[in-house]
Structure formats: structure tokens, C-alpha cells
Structure 1
Amino acid sequence: MFRPTYARIDLDAVLHNYRQAVALAPNSQTLAVIKADAYGHGALAVAKKLAGHAPAFAVACIDEALALRNAGIHTPILLLEGFYDPKEIPIAAQHGFWMMIHDEAQLDILSKIRLDKPLHCWLKLDTGMHRLGTAVSRLPQMLQRLAEIDSIAPDPVLATHFACSEELQKDMTTRQIADFYAGAKCTGLPLSLANSAAVYLHEASHAQWNRPGIMLYGSTPLPGKSPAQLGLRAAMQLYSQIFALRELKPGETVGYGARWTARRPSRIATLAIGYADGYPRLTDSSTQVYLHGRYAPVVGTVSMDMLAVDVTDVPEAKLGDQVELWGEKVLVSDVAAAAHTIGYELLTKVTLRVPRHYIGQD
């Protein structure tokens, strides 16, 4: 690969962050969420690193799970969105995948299928997210139906998902926890509530299974808190290189739409990265990169393959310099905020054109 743009993935940081999740809830089992190619970090590499540490993984769908199984990952894998097609069910049972069940229509399908080995299920309850899940009031009927289906293993895990667990000023999470426990307390079944934010903020949600995701990759799940404040280490550092430099006079502009105008004699560096690599096109003037121990602002409109940086205050900047777009010095959450989105989106949108260079592989 000749283009000087790449993502450095620190797998030791992923393991460190996983251990932080475990330490915060030592009485829970901590399932590692590695959906969406481990939030852009590489699901297989992350799974190999966490195998033997995490008792289970979670992905969105069976395609993601099969890719891991076919690559030699034998850890149990939960399918968070369940199945879309009945043909998936025997495949899931064959490979020992755990299936999330979220409505009675799925039970109708399961009741008509005979399996060679029982399917381990999780049952999702809707406590206010109103996306997936059955109403808490329907839990007794759902459990009765599950018990009547021979192909389903006994003792399903009961789960729910929080709508705003990172926002302490809202009481919705407290209400969701209370509603969930009110419905599940008499079942004696294992429970799962906590996502990354709840691992930090809602100890009452620490049950038999926690499901951290974004924190495993060192991006903060809590607004106003940096990864370092939460004991996390950034797992992805996104780098590119200066491949052009030019001097601008006051009044000259940069990029499509001439959105940025030089107010002083300025030195502009062009980097070999753009929105086709996953860097957000619509950022504001607060977006920065890091080089030579200093921050420099992104200027003008981000192009498909390039972006411009004002390095006037970094006089030592030169052709071939490596520049951090996000990682340890530039938080992905800060870049996301400037683009009016969230770090989750930026991490998962780093495209395949950007090679991943792994460190910490066992």
C-alpha cells in the first residue's frame, strides 16, 4: 500500500478497556459487543484478542457471526437483532449462536421448526426504547410459549436496552430499570441491561450480563467525560500525511465552495484523506488535527480524497509529516461533535480503503 493513510488499531487498548468494564461490574459477566466489524476496528482481530477473556460476543446479525465462526472463533455469539429469515434458525443452532427474540411472531416461527440441538435464546423486553422488544406485561405469556417449544433451551436471558443511559439529568433510565425488574424479578432468570454508559452510571443495571460496546474501543460513552477520565485508551488512531504545501495571501480561499478565507498570510497543508475514507465532510472550524506536538485546524470543505489544514502556526510542518486525524491526541468524539454526529458513526464509517495496522496481536 503506497497511499499514506491508515488506521492503527491497538488491540492491547481494547483488552485494557474490556478489563475496565469488568472491573466496574465485577459481579456481572461482561459480553463484548463487536458488531459492525467491531465498530470499525476489525471484528476478527478484536475477537481473537478477547477470546479467553470475554465469555461471549454480540453482533447484529448472523452474517457477522458466521464470518467469525468460519475464521475459527468458537466463543458463544449473541445475535442482537435475532433472525430475519426462518432459514437462519437451524444455522444458528448448528453453530451455537444465541438468538435474541423480540416478538411473538418469532415464536410462531420457532414453534414450527425442529432442530437437532436446542437454540439458546435471549428475550428482549421493551421498557421504553420502542424499537425492539415485547411489552413487559406480556412477559409471562412469552415465557410460557418459550417453555412449550422443544427446540428452545430452558432459562433464556431477559434483556432490555436503554434509550438515554448517558443522560443523568433524565430519569428515563431509572424508570426503565424499575420497570424491567418489576417484570423480571419473579422469573429467576438471568438478566441483561447495562450498555457502556450504564456500566459507568447505573450500578442498579449491573445484572448477570452486561453488554459494553463503544467503551471497548476507547471512545467515551459519557458526554463531558474524556476517555482518560474514564480509564479508557483509544484503540484507533487515524493517520494521514502531508503531501502538498502552499502559501496563501489574505483573502484567498480554500476548497470547494470557497468556504474558508485566509485572514492573514497562511500556510496550508493538504492531507491524503477525505470523506471517501470516512472522515466527515461537514465539519466546522473547531475541527483539529495533531502534528509536531501541536493542534492545527481543518479548513475549507473536506473533499472525497483530501482535506486542508492551516499549519501557519506549525512552522516546522513539512512534506511527508504524519498527522493524527483522531486517536490519542484528537478525540474522535470531538471530531464527531464538530460534524454534528457521534463517535460511533465515524469509527464505523472508516472505509476499507483505509488499511488497518494492528499492534498487540497475540
Structure 2
Amino acid sequence: MTLESLDTGLAGARLTIDLAALEANWRDLAARAAPAECAAVVKADAYGIGIGPAVRRLHDAGCLTFFVAHPEEGLRARTVAPDAVIYVLNGLFPGAVDVLADAGLRPVLGSPDEVEAWAAAGRARGRPLPSALHVDTGMNRLGLDLEEARALAGRADLLAAADPHLVMSHLACADEPEHPLNGRQLERFRAAAALFPGLPASLANSAGIFLGADYQAGLVRPGVALYGGAVRSGRPSPMMPVLHLSAPILRIRRVAAGETVGYGAAETLRRDSRVAILSVGYADGYRRAASAEDGRPGGRVAIGGRVVPILGRISMDLMAVDVTDVPGACRGTAVELIGDHVGLGDVAAAMGTIDYEVLTGLGLRFQRAYLDET
């Protein structure tokens, strides 16, 4: 049996990021949402793949609007997309007015205090500073409530000084198409958007795009779907996978039936086994919840296309996998942790979490390789 070997240099594993797939996903979503504009959410270091390469590739593909969570992320996006519109979703951070204004970043204003502060900053500079308005329609996190939005709509001077270029809200249950809150939020958002005639509107996140044209408004804001994540609860992702995670086998040891593997002696081997050790653990974002124990299987990996189980507890820097049925596996053989045979959704399920958390939790210790980087 011939198996691929993997050289990760000085790192324990390699994270390969397919930028062509990222672009293809954006184009797919843009086509689904047309004629609405398709932006890109690149917060959390572009969901773990790297904000610089991601923004550069999407901007080159024609994406003109980006959303980040923090001002610092906006600054990094600005360095590779100097002419793009960049919104800061988490609003007007205390002390960040000058940074935002100087970099041309637009805060998404979600409280009366933020609106007042941003308007004052524009007056102090002698020109309005662009922003967006966030109206809460049922998430109950950030955002103006409907009464606050009505009050703002009645203050033409304040509205002009705050200079909103977008009114937006965020869906709480878009990944569950039949959830009644979706319809209620749509009705509330239409009422809120009507308070600000002439402003472009945005409601749909990744899953919201798939709810149909009623939810797409003038601009959609896909996030996880760009990176290959699922858009509907309990269903496989319709998007192209963007990342692959592989690690080489450090060593293989023969362990007799009845022996245990890893911390806590959590799993007892039922047969004489060949156990492969990988230099990946929960410090890399491969969560301990995917461990195996007696009576409960854990996550799975793939070797040469053959899916095999994780053995015992995942530790900080190491994990064990069963290669008894892969006789050609040896030191240096490549093991797929996320990829064609073990998808992102499979890993999330084994960890008891969602695609978002797996993506954004991927550690910085991996060797990163970008495919088709321009």
C-alpha cells in the first residue's frame, strides 16, 4: 500500500487553505442573492483562514463590502482593500473614534449613545462620518430597539450627522427555515427599514440567503458559508470546502488488547492494535470533546481515504488514532483531520459543536499553505 507522506516542517500539522474555493463560494452566494449586493464577513481572522489572504482574494474577485467585528480587524482588512467599504459589526468601541475615522471604517451603530457619539465626532471634524444602523428585531443583543429607531428617524439633524449608509439587523434562527422567529424578524425589519427610506437594507447572513428573496434585501452578509460551513442545522454544507487539515504520524506503537490509551485510561483496546500518534491536540483547536472512551466513540480521521477512529483522550498536544486496518501507515504518513473524507461538519459533530467554532478555533501552530494565492 502506498500512502502519502507529509512534511510539516517545524509545525505539528498543515492547514491548507483553498482560496479558489473561497472565491467560488462567494460567487455562488452572490448569484443566489442577485440583484442584492454580496458582501463578505471576515471577522475572527476570516473565520480562522487569515484575514489578509481572504480579503485580498475576495476583493480581487469583485467583493466591495466587508464586515469585521473589531476595529483592529478592520485595519488589517483596510491594508489589502484600500477602496473597500468596511463595517465594524460590534459598533463604536470606546476610544476608537479617531482610529475608525482615520481608516475610513464604518461602525454599525447599535445604541442611542453610539449614534450621538459618532454624530459628535463628525461635527468635530466638520464632515459627516459614514456609518450603519443596527436595529434589533429579536436577537436581543446589540441594536436599537424599534422605539429607539423611531425616535432617531424623527431627528433629522442627528440622523444627518451620523450619516448612515445602511440599516441592518441579524437573524437568530435562519439555519432553521421553519422557525417562526424568522417571519417575525422579517416583519419587524421591514417596519424598521421603512423608517429610513432611501437607505440600503441588510438582513440575511449565510443561512438567511437560503431563506429566499424576501430576506435578501439590498445586501447580504455571508460568513460561515464562504468558508465551507453548513447553512442549515443538521444538513451537509452545499458549499465547497475551503480548508484541509493534515498531520504526519509521529510514531506507531503496538498495544495489546486490554491495555488503555491516553490520559485517564479512558478507552480500553478490544484487540491487539497499531496505534498512531499525531502532534495535534486541544491547544490547536482540536477539542477534547472529540475524545473516545469505553462505551462512547470519539471523532474520526482518514488515512489514504480510509476513515479510522481516534483512540482515548485528546490531550493538549497529541492524539492517538487506530491504524490497525491500515497496514501501510508508518512514521510520516499523512493523516487527514479535516478534508475530503472527514468533513468540517463531521468534526464539529464529534466535538459536540458547530462549524463556526471549529473554524474560528483552529490554532496558530499549524503550518499554513495557501493554494492559488494571487
Q: What TM-score range do you get, normalising by the shorter chain?
A: over 0.9
Number of the residue aligned with 1:177: 186
**2:348 aligned counterpart, secondary structure:** helix
Distance 1:63 1:117 in 2: 24
Number of the residue aligned with 1:270: 277
Give the aligned residue type for 1:95: A
1:213 to 204, 220, 223: 223
Aligned-residue identity in percent? 36
Q: Which runs of 5+ in 2 are unaligned?
A: 1-8
**1:353 aligned counterpart, secondary structure:** coil
Post-superposition offset of 1:37? 0.4
CA separation of 1:349 and 1:186: change in aligned 2, threshold 3 A: closer
Instruction: Kindly report which structure 2 residues correspond to 1:1-362, keeping only aligned pairs within 5 A, or say none.
Output: 1-52=9-60, 53-71=62-80, 73-85=82-94, 87-113=95-121, 114-145=124-155, 147-148=157-158, 151-153=161-163, 156-185=165-194, 187-188=196-197, 189-227=199-237, 230=238, 232-283=239-290, 284=292, 285-362=297-374
Post-superposition offset of 1:335? 1.2
Post-superposition offset of 1:130? 0.2
Answer whether contact 1:48 1:73 (CA < 8 A) is retained: no
**1:3 aligned counterpart, secondary structure:** coil
Deviates more, 1:92-101 or 1:295-304: 92-101
CA separation of 1:219 and 1:308: change in aligned 2, threshold 3 A: same
Query: Scaled by the length of structure 1, what TM-score is found?
Result: 0.94
**What is the aligned-residue RMSD (CA, Å)?**
1.7
Q: 1:294-322: CA deviations, max 9, x gaps?
A: 10111111011110001112222111111
Query: Scaled by the length of structure 2, what TM-score is found?
Result: 0.91
Post-superposition offset of 1:286? 4.2
Could you list the structure 1 runs, at least 4 aligned residues long, displaced by more than 4 angstroms after superposition: none
**1:282 aligned counterpart, secondary structure:** helix
Distance 1:149 1:313 in 2: 67
Q: How many residues are treated as equivalent by the alignment?
A: 357
Deviates more, 1:270-279 or 1:327-336: 327-336
Answer whether contact 1:166 1:198 (CA < 8 A) is retained: yes
Distance 1:146 1:318 in 2: 71
Deviates more, 1:126-135 or 1:333-342: 333-342
Q: 1:37-67: CA deviations, max 9, x gaps?
A: 0000000000110114111111001111112
Answer whether contact 1:137 1:183 (CA < 8 A) is retained: no
Answer whether contact 2:263 2:312 (CA < 8 A) is retained: yes
